[in-house]
Amino acid sequence: MTSINFKAACFDLNGTLIDTGPSHRAAERATVRAFGFDDLTADHPVTFGTGVIPGAQLVAEYLRHRQRRRSTGRIPAPVEADSRRGYRPAAGCRIDRPQSGGAGALVALVISGEWGYADEFLRIAGLAEVFVCSVTLEDVVKLKPNPEPYLKPTEIMGVESSQCVVFEDSVAWFKAARPAGMYSV
**CB 163, CB 183: distance < 8 Å:** no
What share of the chain in percent tops pLDDT 70?
A: 70
Residue 185 one-letter amino acid: V
Global pTM reads 0.69
Inter-CA distances, 79 with 6, 40, 110, 125, 152, Å: 37, 16, 22, 18, 30
Strand partners, 167: 11
User: Residue 116, SS3?
Assistant: helix
Per-residue pLDDT tens digits for 128-180: 888 999 999 899 998 878 999 999 999 999 999 999 999 988 887 888 899 99
Of 164, 172, 61, the closest CA to residue 105 belongs to 164
